[in-house]
Structure 1
Amino acid sequence: MQLSNKQKQYLKSEAHSLKPVVMLGNNGLTEGVMAEIDLALAHHELIKVKVLGEDKAERQLICDAICRESGALLVQIIGKVAIFFLQDQDESKFSLPKG
């Protein structure tokens, strides 16, 4: 599934007031951190993750790995904070706009 620009804008506005629920530190993306991300996505659908590190390319690789491992979609990266979305197939908390 791909998100349209309209859907991304909607999710960005919904995520604006959220605080990061998971923070990746010096150990990087461990199994424990990935389990926390999966749990948070299952519960909230839309989460922010803070990825520490100075290298922008490395942060992008970590975000790509999170998407690959969890099945979530990357909505946006601003600095060290990434927004991920994984829609619940049964009953979603978010009604994405069409298009």
Structure 2
Amino acid sequence: MRPADLILLLVIFAIMYFLLIRPQQKKLKEHQTMLAALRRGDQVITQGGLVAKVVKVKDDSNEVEVEIADGVKVRVIKSTITTVMNKTEPAKT
């Protein structure tokens, strides 16, 4: 393998890293930060398209209890929440 071929291979790998891998890692980190900041009262959208209000965040598990209609509460896996529409302010004590 010639040195020019090796340099070309490294350049192609660097381009792939900056165009594909790095943005995907950044997006994943932002999603994890969003999920860690979930709190009661937030209005969220799930991957299934449900618009719901967070009723209970369970710290010890990977689940969130959401209300999709008056009196209708369901448990969803945190990672299926795609967007937080309305963020509530923390309660002042």
Higher relative contact order (CA 8 A, sep 6+): 1
Larger Rg computed on CA atoms: 2
